[in-house]
Amino acid sequence: MTATHQPLTFPITITWPILPDDFILPDDPRENTEHPLLANALRQALTLELSKDALITTNFVLCAGINNRIIVKAPDWMYVRPVDPWPHPYPRRSYTPHTEGPIPLIVMEFLSENYGEEYSMEFQSRVGKWYFYEQVVKVPIYVIFQPETARLEVYALKSQGYEIQTPSSAGRYWIPGLELLLGIWWGTGNNRTGNWLRWWNSAGEMLPWPEEVAATDRERAETERLRAEQLAQQAETERQRAQTERQRADAERQRAEAERLRAAQLEQRLRELGVDPDR
């Protein structure tokens, strides 16, 4: 399904309140236990530079005010940068753009088999996510991903609203701000096999997960260990060859010394018999 929405023109007043401490957040159950794995994998692959001073969240409250109503949504994945460090000892509950920092660069929603308000433009009795991200917060990039069917839709905010983007020949999308490509990869990670969202750099190199880095390091260490063993075996072989050469040279010297002694003894014996060995 591809969403094509026309922006609504009803007048609204948007404000950016901090979420009150006594605001009761919805306690909706997760539709899919795989969604946190997908979100965590996206975060883990980001470089330290992209993670520095960034708010990278999973199912975390994004807050705004619409006509004096506090509206909250919890994207499955959100990236905001730069954001000041949280100064309080208690955990952060929410993020309000403009008041606490810039608008999110990108939000993502992961669809289950039965998706809900990810495409919804409703804004009266219940505010749909599409409307909230596009018309209220104005998030530049909105991603919708269905991991079971490998459907990936990337929308960029233009003057008239979200426009679906066209992938590259490799099926990847350029994400401005992150300066990375986003695409689908099939494989195994975190004890899950299936479709994943992965990052690629501009050179087409996939950004690895920590477990992949660790596996590569282990393979490199094993290769180095085997190479060191091979070098040690070569050194031992060379030592044994040199020892054999020394033993052969020693044997040759001993043989020559024995020949010299035998010749000297023969010469002495001839002299004792009155024979001049030099004649």
Residues 74 and 150 in one domain: yes
Residues 262 and 169 in one domain: no
pLDDT for res 4: 46
Our count of domains for the chain comes to: 2
Question: Does 242 map to a domain?
Answer: yes
Question: Does 31 map to a domain?
Answer: yes
Question: Does 2 map to a domain?
Answer: no
CATH code, domain with 114: 3.90.1570
Contacting residues for 92 by C-beta, under 8 A, at least 6 apart: 86
Counting residues of the chain whose pLDDT is more than 70, the rounded percentage is 89
Asked whether residue 191 carries a pLDDT value surpassing 60, the answer given is yes
**Segment among 85-99, 110-124, 178-192 with least mean pLDDT:** 110-124
Residues 217 and 145 in one domain: no
What is the rounded distance in angstroms from the CA atom of residue 107 to the CA atom of residue 271?
Answer: 111
Residues 199 and 223 in one domain: no
- Two tokens at 104? 């999110």
CB 65 within 8 A of CB 14: yes
Question: Does 192 map to a domain?
Answer: yes
Question: Does 7 map to a domain?
Answer: no
User: Which residue among 164, 190, 206 closes a domain?
Assistant: 206
Residues 127 and 50 in one domain: yes
Residues 129 and 78 in one domain: yes
pLDDT for res 77: 97
pLDDT tens profile 14-59: 999 999 988 887 755 555 788 999 999 999 999 999 999 999 999 9
Residues 78 and 138 in one domain: yes
| Mean pLDDT, all residues of the chain | 88
Residues 144 and 191 in one domain: yes
Residues 24 and 152 in one domain: yes
Question: Does 95 map to a domain?
Answer: yes
Quote the domain boundaries for residue 264: 208-279
Question: Does 35 map to a domain?
Answer: yes
pLDDT for res 28: 57
Q: Does 8 or 53 have the greater pLDDT score?
A: 53
Long-range contacts of 89-95 (CB under 8 A, 24+ apart): 93/19, 93/25, 93/61, 94/18, 94/19, 94/60, 94/61, 94/62, 94/63, 95/55, 95/57, 95/60, 95/61, 95/62, 95/63
Residues 89 and 179 in one domain: yes
173 HSE (CA, 13 A, CB side): 22
Residue 65 neighbours by CB distance under 10 Å: 16
Question: Does 228 map to a domain?
Answer: yes
CB 30 within 8 A of CB 36: yes
**0.85 exceeded by pTM:** no
Asked whether residue 3 carries a pLDDT value surpassing 50, the answer given is no
